């Protein structure tokens, strides 16, 4: 079953923070985050495993709440380059099949 991403879209000013959520009705083994710019392929951001720690690099980090089956992606002090659509992919039982959310469109304005 497709995970639910929220919000569907968000508009920010450069320097503002954003949180994107990904919720599943099923118990998850891992959550994968990707960013896709218009007309391009998705690009990997990070993977969070069940029982693993919060991850992050630069000003983008994420957490995985196993009790709620929810992952959140945090973008702090957003930059123009952060614009794009963010997708979460969820994996159940390490079965190599990712089920993807519908995406969150992020627009950063100067």
Query: Rounded to the nearest whole angstrom, what is the least distance from the CB of residue 2 to other proteins in the complex?
Result: 7
Of the candidate spans 12-20, 32-40, 62-70, 76-84, the one that interacts with other proteins by CB under 8 A turns out to be: 32-40
Of the candidate spans 9-17, 28-36, 53-61, 66-74, the one that interacts with other proteins by CB under 8 A turns out to be: 28-36
- Interaction of residue 84 with other proteins, rule CB under 8 A: no
Closest CA to 69 of 20, 6, 7, 27: 27
Closest CA to 110 of 82, 86, 84, 79: 79
Q: Which is nearer to other proteins, 65 or 94 (CB)?
A: 94
Q: Which residues contact 9 (CB under 8 A, 6 or more apart)?
A: 104, 105, 106, 107
Q: Which residues contact 82 (CB under 8 A, 6 or more apart)?
A: 35, 60, 75, 106, 108
Torsion of CA 68, 3, 64, 13, to 10 degrees: -120
The binder of other proteins chosen from 24, 34, 71, 82 (CB under 8 A): 34
- Interaction of residue 58 with other proteins, rule CB under 8 A: no
- Interaction of residue 4 with other proteins, rule CB under 8 A: no
Residues within the interface to other proteins (CB under 8 A): 2, 29-30, 32, 34, 40-44, 47, 87, 89, 91, 94-103
């Amino acid at each position: 079953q497709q995970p639910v991403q929220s919000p569907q879209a968000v508009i920010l000013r450069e320097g503002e923070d954003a949180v994107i959520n990904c919720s599943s009705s099923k118990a998850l083994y891992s959550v994968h985050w990707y960013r896709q710019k218009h007309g391009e392929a998705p690009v990997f951001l990070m993977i969070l495993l069940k029982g693993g720690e919060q991850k992050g690099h630069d000003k983008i980090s994420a957490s995985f709440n196993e009790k709620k089956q929810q992952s959140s992606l945090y973008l702090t002090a957003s930059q123009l380059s952060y614009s794009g659509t963010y997708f979460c992919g969820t994996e159940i039982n390490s079965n190599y099949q990712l089920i993807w959310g519908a995406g969150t469109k992020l627009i950063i304005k100067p």
